[in-house]
Amino acid sequence: MKKLLFIDDDIGFLESNRLYFSRRHYEVFCANSPKDALSLLSSISVDCIILDIDMPDSTGFEVCQKIRAISGTPVIFLSGLSDTQNRIASFQAGGDDFLAKPYDILELELRIEARIRKNEKVFFSDVMRFDKLCIDENRHLITYDGTPGEFSALQFDIVAFMARNPGKVFSYEQIYDQVWKEPIVKSRHNLQVVVATVRQKLANLCEGRQYIRTVPRKGYYFTPDED
């Protein structure tokens, strides 16, 4: 039985989703505060987290960053704050998907199933190694000289996708179609923001080395070598 965690300060929202997904044979946990959510996550393991942005004690972005420090579990933001700025911020915080309220419950279920499947996907048994950089597709882990980085599932998939083909330039559309297979915000600007975040995280982890390079008006490519 798959386990879901809903984090929202709206008790009615939590209860309606608990009833629906329990009937769909999920084990459902609910938390109406960030503190309760993080306490739950310290004692249980879940398959997907559905997280609101606007909460009294803390923003969903802050909660997601704390979750990313301890877990790679898929996080779907579900919020009435559906403007582009909040959508982009949700991915920058480490989220994997975004759905605006009001929403269709079946669409939410399908997105949850898609994210769980993607997180469970078995990748190649070999670890990709580029000098001190290691990309472990089985463990969904990126390390540099033994130090692990903190990358969301989406961010990891972008790095791994390009690293499988060093030197090959991928267009914005190719990256979107091959990595973002679920119907999220299809926007070149959003993709640029997410890739910029990935590049900065890699540079911070890898002592300033730029493994992902930009080709103006073309896209991005992965290079294991210094220029």
Q: Specify the pairing of strand 75-79 against strand 97-100.
A: parallel
User: What does the pLDDT look like over 192-224, one tens digit per residue?
Assistant: 888 899 999 999 999 989 999 999 888 899 998
Range of the domain at 14: 3-120
Q: Is the pTM of this model over 0.85?
A: no
Closest alpha carbon to 195 in 225, 226, 224, 170: 170
**What number is the average pLDDT over the span 30-35?**
92
Whole-number Å distance between alpha carbons of 69 and 47: 16
Any domain includes 227: no
Q: Report the chain's mean pLDDT, rounded to a whole number.
A: 86
Q: How confident is the model at residue 187 (pLDDT cuts 50, 70, 90)?
A: low
Domain ends where: 103, 120, 137? 120
| 94 and 175, same domain (yes or no) | no
Residues 13 and 57 in one domain: yes
Number of structural domains found in the chain: 2
29 and 112 both lie in a single domain:
yes
Are both 170 and 98 inside the same structural domain?
no
Q: Do 215 and 155 reside in the same domain of the chain?
A: yes
